[in-house]
Each structure stands twice: as structure tokens, then as C-alpha cells.
Amino acid sequence: MGDFRVIQHCQQVLCDRIQEICDGLELNWVGIHKDLDTQPKDDEEATVYCSLYRIDDMDDFGLPAFAVKPYKPGPAAPDPKREDFVQIPARFFYLYFIVFVESSDTDLANALMGAVMNGFHQEPTLLYRPVTYEIDGKFFDSLGRALEVDGHRITVDPDASPQEGAHDKLRMEKISAALVDDLAFGDACLLLKGFERKVRPYLTYRIFTKIDQPLKLVARPGGVRLSLFDTDTGDQA
């Protein structure tokens, strides 16, 4: 099973970034909603909606449909002399989000829209979690440390230590948020009215991401050969 949680993680990091932008404006209370069908709360001075409305699959990379050696260094094989990891190439796709503000104060709504645009312009690339490697249903980071999976959350085991022979640096996932003209005004009206939202100025952001596939342990080509000398160290067997 691939890491299907990536879509949820991408939306969460976008909402977290919007929350950081709003916190810098020193407003009384701004709510961040992921779903278009949720109503603003009574104590919210303004409500920012950041909702996924379209997924566009990317199938023109020409990647092989069979497992190959992973291009990202990560955990080490238990017996690196005789075993190696292979992995089906990742599934790449675009995520499209609509962002708009609801508020009884039009000036405040417009100010928030400008702040969001400027915030993503200043930081279009966001780090959001360690790169995960799935092996036999268990998850590890690039240092070979075990990761705890609780539903859709992935956290580092506090008692885990780096694995000998694994990658020496912690690799982090990155996403880039690009402001695009993807949703025509008529389509946006239909979308918003379908969820009983008022038609307001909106932004559309595109996220390029992927679903990584599990690692599979295989024997190195050539099998096991007997020798008087260890081929890696030159020491006598």
C-alpha cells in the first residue's frame, strides 16, 4: 500500500501556513475551514476556507511500471551485501485548492486575501514532514528510525535511534504552492452555490505532490557466491 496520507498532509500544511499568516495580523479570531459545507462559527471575526476541489493525475513522466532501485537514499537493507531494496516509482499528481474569505467586514476579507497571496509569494515552498519509507507495513524515515502511525498521523518514535548504514541526513518532504488561474468564474459559482456559500473573490493554488510506494527487499543480482576473500573488505573469510 502506498502512502495515501499525502493528500491529507498537503491540505493540513496549507491550512497551517494560512493560520500563521492570519496570526501575524493580530486579529481577534480567524477560523480556518477545510470543508466548504462547514458554517462559520459565531465567535469568528473572519473565516478562511481552503478546500480541495480537483486532483489531476500526472502520467507523462515515462517512469517504468516495474520496481527499480529507489532514487532516494533511506534505510539500509538488513544484509546490504546480499540484499537490496526496490520500489515502484511514485504516483505523481497535482492538487488544486480554492481559498476564499467569508466575513461581515468586506475590508477585512480583502485584507486577508492580500495577506494570503503575499504569504505564499514569500514562502512558496513548505517543509511538512520527514520522507517516509514503508517496509512490510512498517514506516521509517531516511535515518532508518521507526515511525509511529496512528490513523492519518505519522510521528517519530521517541525511543528510535538512527540505523547503521542508513542515509546520514533526515530528508524532508517539500511542497510548492503555485497561484494558478484554474477555476473559471462560472465553475466557481456552481461550486460555491452547491455548498450554499456566497460567491466571493477566490484564489486557486496548485500543489505538486506524489504517493510513494512501499520498499521491497530482494536478493542482489548474481546470488550468493563463495570466495576465500570477502569481496567488499578484502579480508580472508
Name every residue whose Cβ is closer than 8 Å to that of residue 89 and which is 6 or more positions away in sequence.
Answer: 61, 63, 64, 68, 213
Asked if pLDDT for residue 220 goes beyond 70, the answer is yes
More confident residue, 153 or 51: 51
Q: What is the distance between the terminal CA atoms of the chain, rounded to a whole angstrom?
A: 40
Instruction: Give the highest mean pLDDT range of 116-125, 156-165, 213-222.
Output: 116-125
Q: Any idea where the domains of the chain sit in the sequence?
A: 6-129+173-219
CATH dotted code for 6-129+173-219: 3.30.2000
Task: Say if strands 46-57 and 30-33 run parallel, antiparallel, or are unpaired.
Answer: parallel
> Cα-flanking dihedrals φ and ψ of residue 113, to 5°?
-60, -45
Helices (H), the chain: 6-23, 106-122, 185-194
Question: Is residue 102 classed as helix, strand or coil in its secondary structure?
Answer: strand
pLDDT for res 226: 53
Which of the four pLDDT bands, split at 50, 70 and 90, describes residue 235? very low
Q: Is the dihedral of CA 16, 18, 19, 25 positive or negative?
A: positive
Joined together, the cell numbers standing for residue 66 give 516495474
pLDDT for res 72: 80
- Residues 72-131 have pLDDT tens digits of 888 988 888 888 899 888 888 999 999 999 998 999 999 999 999 999 999 888 887 888
